[in-house]
Amino acid sequence: MSRKFSFTVSYSVPVAELHRAITSDELWQDRFDGAATATLDLAHDDGPGTIRVHMTETARPDKIPALVRKVLKNDLVVERTDNWGPLEGDTARGVFSGTSQGITTKMSGTYEMRSAATGSEIVVSGAVAVKVPLVGGAIEPLAEQLQHRVIESERKFIEKWFAAKADA
């Protein structure tokens, strides 16, 4: 069984600037700079204005919910791939997929980046499935919350990144 989710994240920058940043290597390299337990692979296979971002990270034990720690067999390694398409008008679309090792989790969905009254926004829609007998259904909301926290953390980083570029 899987759990569906959807949420919107707002940005203060125009959609063209946000798209240009999200499809740039520089933003992602800055984001992962100093991340000791993470890896990053970037590609532009679909041409300019697109990007494939493949990330892996080993979760720190103190950041893993107790319920999840109880069923882990070894380290929790989270893997995510984002694919962003070109900006067409004031909209860009992307897809994401994610898995984890240590506990069998699969997540996938879509992104829609678009203009908003105060700048831009990204609508995230997807589904998550956790394959753990008895407690998988209880872990799925935690995986959804994690996805929301990751996207919100990226929003905060991107906003600070833009502010630092403006001050430079």
List Cβ neighbours of 96 (8 Å cut-off, separation of 6 or more). Answer: 80, 81, 82, 83, 107, 108, 109, 110, 111, 124, 126
> What's the confidence (pLDDT) of residue 148?
81
Query: How confident is the model at residue 1, as a pLDDT?
Result: 64
Sign of CA dihedral 141, 127, 49, 121: negative
Asked if residue 24 lies in contact with residue 44, where contact means CB atoms within 8 angstroms, the answer is no
105-116 and 51-58 strand pairing: unpaired
CATH number at 9 reads 3.30.530.20
Predicted structure pTM score:
0.86
Q: What is the pLDDT of residue 90?
A: 95
Q: Which domain holds residue 141?
A: 3-167
| Phi/psi at 74 (5° precision) | -160, -160
pLDDT at 168: 66
pLDDT of residue 46: 93
Indicate the number of domains in the chain.
1
Q: What is the pLDDT along the chain (168 residues), one digit of tens a residue?
A: 688 999 999 999 999 999 999 999 999 999 999 888 889 999 999 999 999 999 998 877 777 777 777 777 777 788 999 999 999 999 999 999 999 887 778 999 999 999 999 999 999 999 998 876 656 667 777 777 778 888 888 999 999 998 888 776
Distance of CA 72 to the CA centre of its chain: 22
